[in-house]
Amino acid sequence: MNIAIVTGASSGLGAGYVRELDQGKLIKEKLDEIWVIARREDRLCALGKEVQTPLRILPLDLRKNESLGILQALLSSLHPDVRFLINAAGYGKIGSWKDISLEDASGMIDLNCRAAVCMTQTVLPFMKKGARIMEICSTAAFQPFPYLGIYSASKSFLLHYSRALGRELKKSGISVTAVCPYWVKDTGFIPTARKETTGGNTIRSFPLASVTDRVVRWSMIDAALRRPVSTPGLVCSAHRLMSVLPDGLKMDLWELIRRI
């Protein structure tokens, strides 16, 4: 049984990847099922009505260790051939250190870092030559971002993990693509990042933000080409080129941009 596994599949980029895998326009791969993981079961069920490929609904909170145990048991029972693993679960919070609760600080690290690594470690034994892993990072991974500090640090971790893992897996024929988009305006990320934090307006606007479909299509092409890093847009591509600049200079530029 050939399957894909997508985390964070209830909305945003995760749901966008599910739709793209179902249509199979950019990567031709016969999938018997797509396993979709997120906390909101109702949204996963609604997504299942939009697509033709059968979805296996797994309403799991990846911040909880028992969720990974459930997935491990299911994989061990069915022994599927996992052709895609797309780790799209994650969130961020905007504000200074004093604006971010301890719960959110640890939650970002748990979901953006620990859960992504544990998902990958759990699923890899069920992947064979030709399979693809996509770790959804962010252009925030390319530099320190004051007022988005924990999130950007977590995505920098995921980017470096992805690059190293990709090199380890090179001889096995399993590719790893770190996807580093700019702001995506038609997902829940920005409202969630601003919600319930007194520092939510420290980033005033999000100019030149991209949209889900464009990010999904561009990054799937990069995954099809087995590129180690995908910067799905002009802004994040330029930002990646600027990563050679000193961090202090990049943060000075960010101070100007966040006030626009």
Active site residues: 151, 155
Report d(CA 224, CA 232) in Å as an integer. 13
Q: Look at residues 162, 219, 155, 236 and name the one whose alpha carbon lies nearest to residue 193.
A: 155
Report d(CA 95, CA 60) in Å as an integer. 28
Report d(CA 27, CA 89) in Å as an integer. 22
Q: Give the amino acid at 215.
A: V
Burial of 39 (0-12, 13-18, 19+ CB in 10 A): middle
For the chain, where are the E strands, in sequence order?
2-7, 33-38, 55-59, 81-87, 132-136, 175-179, 229-230
Q: Look at residues 216, 221, 224 and name the one whose alpha carbon lies nearest to residue 17.
A: 216
168-175 long-range contacts, Cβ below 8 Å, gap at least 24? 169/133, 172/129, 173/128, 173/129, 173/130, 173/131, 174/124, 174/127, 174/128, 174/129, 174/130, 174/131, 174/132, 174/133, 175/131, 175/132, 175/133, 175/223, 175/226, 175/228
Q: Look at residues 132, 169, 139 and name the one whose alpha carbon lies nearest to residue 155.
A: 139
